[in-house]
């Protein structure tokens, strides 16, 4: 096996560990396979319909033990939540839609978490936004330190009141998720979105308690976790998805050494999350020189908490390459993934495009039907699949 296909060697053909239960006090799972969150734009006006419920149920029936939904917008005015086909986690109709989704997934024997999303600056540039009645609007934007838009319009940094509003929105979203019946929530704090903008020194130039150093840059995440716990209690699972890379800069780093990563993770772990979801473009790549541990492996070593690895699982080409080239044409072996899981580098494995392209991917792996595993063709995004 080449390094591109999975890294360290394992027992060829043995995938048994992927189907062992995860014993966890608040989120026991039947196996180690997670459906990764993938934005789809199939919820008109932010309301998930029966087709969305059927989409997630198929993945549950296909063998995923845990499903993490596509990003759902919280009820903050600076999220991209108006006239959008991205789902919301607020409003009676949207919550009723999610209740149906949850029921279908549970009926198929899997658990499901809602991913909570605030995009921050990502959609702020060059986007003509439409309000509910079709008029062009200039929505508020959220940014740790302000920015200059095209045309030289200056948007200032978030005030303390702005930050408090975002924190409260996340807490309400967590409460709504619990009310609907979700088995937990994941906070999207990766890939250059709002929380990650606070993490990232390149965008966070604040000189108050939400900036200055790594502790300050993690404070928004800590305050969100604290507020969410106050709403949902200690027994409702909360997962944090984070990354080094950003959509704006694939080479970006929050930490260049294990010691820097420890300083970043320590205040977040102390705030009480249940899981970390560690996003890499290629799960098999070492995070730091001198060790073959990936980001999930280092996160588990540092925090001791259960972790999810993700990044081109089952495929040769990474996420961005597959979309620029129209797909990931060849599946990859799982030996390296299994070997890392057996070694204890991570606890769960999130599968994205491979599971998007084949809802039965877990069942095929378990039955040994690997000859029928296929790559990922972006044309599947044009269907409800």
SS3 172: helix
Q: C-alpha angle with apex 312: 184 to 170, nearest 5 degrees? A: 25
pLDDT value of position 194: 95
Closest CA to 28 of 352, 366, 363, 347: 347
pLDDT in tens, 69-125: 999 999 998 886 555 789 999 999 999 999 999 999 999 999 999 999 998 877 655
Strand ranges, E, within the chain: 33-35, 66-73, 111-117, 129-130, 136-137, 147-148, 154-155, 185-188, 238-243, 275-279, 307-310, 327-328, 348-351, 376-377
Give me the residues paired with residue 28 across strands.
Answer: none
Q: For residue 270, report the phi and psi dihedrals to the nearest 5 degrees.
A: -65, -20
pLDDT value of position 146: 86
pLDDT in tens, 158-180: 999 999 999 999 999 999 999 99
Q: Give the CA distances from residue 285 to residues 8, 83, 139, 318, 331, in Å, rounded to whole numbers and listed in that order.
A: 10, 39, 39, 11, 17
Check whether 141 has a pLDDT greater than 90: no
The Cα 200–Cα 148 span in angstroms is 18
Report yes or no on whether pTM surpasses 0.95: no
Q: Is residue 52 within 8 Å of 42, Cβ to Cβ?
A: yes
């Amino acid at each position: 096996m080449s390094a591109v296909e999975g890294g360290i060697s394992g027992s060829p053909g043995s995938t048994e560990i992927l189907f062992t239960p995860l014993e966890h006090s608040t989120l026991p799972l039947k196996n180690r396979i997670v459906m990764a969150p993938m934005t789809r734009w199939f919820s008109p006006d932010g309301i998930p319909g029966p087709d969305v419920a059927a989409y997630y149920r198929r993945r549950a029936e296909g063998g995923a033990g845990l499903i993490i939904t596509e990003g759902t917008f919280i009820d903050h005015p600076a999220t991209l939540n108006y006239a959008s086909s991205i789902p919301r986690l607020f409003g009676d109709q949207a919550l009723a839609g999610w209740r149906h989704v949850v029921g279908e997934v549970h009926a198929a024997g899997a658990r499901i978490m809602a991913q909570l999303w605030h995009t921050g600056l990502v959609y702020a540039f060059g986007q003509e936004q439409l309000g509910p009645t079709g008029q062009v609007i200039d929505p508020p934007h959220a940014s740790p330190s302000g920015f200059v838009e095209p045309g030289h319009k200056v948007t200032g940094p978030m005030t303390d009141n702005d930050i408090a509003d975002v924190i409260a929105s996340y807490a309400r979203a967590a409460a709504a998720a619990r009310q609907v019946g979700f088995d937990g929530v994941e906070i999207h704090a990766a890939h250059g979105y709002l929380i990650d903008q606070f993490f990232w020194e390149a965008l966070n130039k604040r000189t108050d308690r939400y900036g200055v150093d790594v502790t300050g840059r993690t404070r928004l995440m800590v305050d969100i976790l604290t507020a969410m716990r106050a709403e949902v209690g200690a027994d409702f699972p909360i997962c944090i998805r984070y990354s080094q890379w950003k959509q704006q800069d694939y080479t970006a780093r929050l930490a260049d050494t294990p010691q820097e990563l420890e300083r970043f993770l320590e205040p977040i772990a102390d705030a009480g999350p249940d899981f970390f979801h560690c996003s890499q473009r290629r799960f098999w790549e070492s995070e730091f020189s001198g060790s073959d541990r990936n980001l999930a492996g280092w996160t588990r070593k540092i925090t001791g908490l259960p972790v999810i690895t993700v990044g081109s699982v089952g495929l040769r080409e990474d996420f961005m390459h597959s979309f620029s080239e129209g797909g990931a044409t060849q599946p990859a072996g799982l030996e390296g993934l299994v070997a890392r899981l057996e070694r204890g580098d991570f606890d769960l494995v999130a599968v994205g495009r491979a599971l998007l392209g084949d809802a039965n991917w877990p069942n095929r792996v378990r039955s040994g039907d690997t000859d029928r595993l296929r790559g990922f063709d972006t044309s599947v995004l044009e269907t409800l699949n």
